[in-house]
Amino acid sequence: MSVALVGAGPGDPGLITVRGLERVRAAEVLVYDRLVAAELVAEAPGMKVPRGSLPQDEINDILVRHGRRRRVVRLKGGDPFVFGRGGEEALALVRAGIAFEVIPGVSALAAVPAAAGIPLTHRGLSAQVTIVTGHAADGSDLDFAALARVHGTLVVFMGLEAVPVLAHNLIAHGADPQLPTAVVSRGTREDQEVVHAPLAELGEASRGLATPALLVLGHVVELAALLAPLQPLVEAAVR
C-alpha cells in the first residue's frame, strides 16, 4: 500500500502537524521512535512496533514488508529529514517500489531553542545558522577550525556527551571562551531544563543533564534573559 514518514515534533505532542496526526490516526501499522510522545503513539488504532534498538536495516525491512500490504506510518522525532535517517528509509522504499510520502515535522532545531526563549536568528546578532552533530564525541568528523570561525548561531544535535570535547576543541581553534551558550534538555516537554554558561564553562554547567539535549552557541542565547520569562505569561493569556 504505502508508507508515510511522519515528523512527530520535538516532544510536546501538540507540536505534530495536522496532516501528520491524520496519518497516525489512520495507520494500520505504526513504527515509532523512542523519543516520540506516548500520547501520539496512543492515537494509532492498529499494530504498533517500537523501534527500540533495532538496527536501521531491520527498520527498513519492516517498512518494506508491511508497506506492501498495509498503510504504514513511520513516526519519527522532530523532522524525518533532519538528522532523522528519513532519507535512508525513503531510499529503501524507492528501491522496493513502494509508494511513500514525507510529512515534515517541527524539528528540534528551532523549536527547542524557541522553548527556551532563544531565536535562532535575530537582526544584528545572527544572520547565519550552522547545524552539526556532536555524535562522534572525539570530534573526528567535525572541522573545529571552521566551526570556531562561524558567524551567527551554532546548533549541535546529539552533543551532550561531547560537550567537554566540543568546548575544548572550539576554544583551542580560536572560539571566544566567553561566547554565550545554552543547553536545552528535553525541550518543549514539561520536564524541560535549560542551562546557560560561557563556552569555557559549558562542560561543567551541563553535567548531569538528561538527554535529549540540544546545544546552542552564539549571541542569540543572551536574548533568553528577555524572552524566556515571557513565555508563561503568553500561555496564561491564551488560556
Residue 89 touching ligand SAM (CB under 6 A): no
Q: Which of 72, 17, 59, 8 has the alpha carbon at shortest distance from 37? A: 8
Q: How many CA atoms lie within 13 A of 117 on its CB side?
A: 19
Minimum distance from CB of 68 to ligand SAM (Å)?
A: 26
What track of x and - describes contact with ligand SAM for positions 34 through 73 (by CB under 6 A)? -x--------------------------------------
The interface region with ligand SAM, picked from 20-28, 82-90, 141-149, 196-204 by CB under 6 A, is 82-90
Read off the amino acid at residue 75.
Answer: L
Helices 56-67 and 86-96, axial angle in degrees (round to 10): 40
Residue 184 touching ligand SAM (CB under 6 A): yes
Residue 212 touching ligand SAM (CB under 6 A): yes
Residue 45, C-beta contacts closer than 8 angstroms, at least 6 positions apart: 25, 26, 27
Nearer to ligand SAM, 168 or 189 (CB): 189
Asked if 105 and 130 touch (Cβ cutoff 8 Å), the reply is: no
* Cell output for 174: 580560536
Residue 21, C-beta contacts closer than 8 angstroms, at least 6 positions apart: 40, 43
The interface region with ligand SAM, picked from 78-86, 123-131, 140-148, 197-205 by CB under 6 A, is 78-86
Nearer to ligand SAM, 93 or 174 (CB): 93
Q: Which of 73, 157, 218, 224 binds ligand SAM (CB under 6 A)?
A: 157
Count of residues that interact with ligand SAM, criterion CB under 6 A: 24
User: How many CB atoms are located within 10 Å of the residue 182 CB?
Assistant: 26
Site of interaction with ligand SAM (CB under 6 A): 10-11, 35, 77-79, 82-84, 107-109, 112, 157-158, 184, 186-189, 211-214
